């Protein structure tokens, strides 16, 4: 019961962040996005979830940088370019925090 309540609270917090946020797995597949992401970029969650981050102009070109995103539990920051649904490019500062499993292995961002 406690774990379900905690997960529900965390999901509520993530959904209600005042900034766009999304989660993707180690393969770059988007697994969740919040309503601020939808509002800023013009996509609804059904259009985003299950797609690779590169589908939205999100650049993950440098293999070393990508590997660093999935290493350890620390905040990483980098400039990113996102393409809105209407084709407009937005330059954003991306803050990434690895999502870890029970053994401390990164399973997403």
pLDDT at 59: 61
pLDDT at 63: 45
pLDDT score of 95 more than 50? yes
Cβ neighbours of residue 16 closer than 8 Å, sequence gap 6 or more: 34
For the 2-108 domain, the top CATH level (class) is: alpha beta
**Span 13-20, average pLDDT:** 85
Cα four-point dihedral sign 4, 106, 71, 26: negative
Which DSSP state fits 29? B
């Amino acid at each position: 019961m406690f774990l379900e309540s905690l997960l529900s609270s965390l999901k509520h917090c993530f959904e209600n962040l005042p900034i766009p946020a999304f989660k993707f797995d180690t393969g770059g597949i988007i697994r969740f996005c919040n309503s601020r992401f939808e509002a800023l970029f013009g996509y609804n969650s059904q259009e985003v979830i299950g797609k690779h981050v590169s589908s939205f102009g999100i650049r993950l070109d440098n293999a070393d940088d990508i590997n660093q995103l999935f290493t350890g539990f620390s905040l990483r920051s980098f400039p990113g370019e996102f393409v809105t649904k209407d084709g407009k490019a937005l330059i954003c500062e991306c803050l990434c925090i690895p999502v870890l499993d029970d053994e401390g292995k990164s399973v997403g961002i």
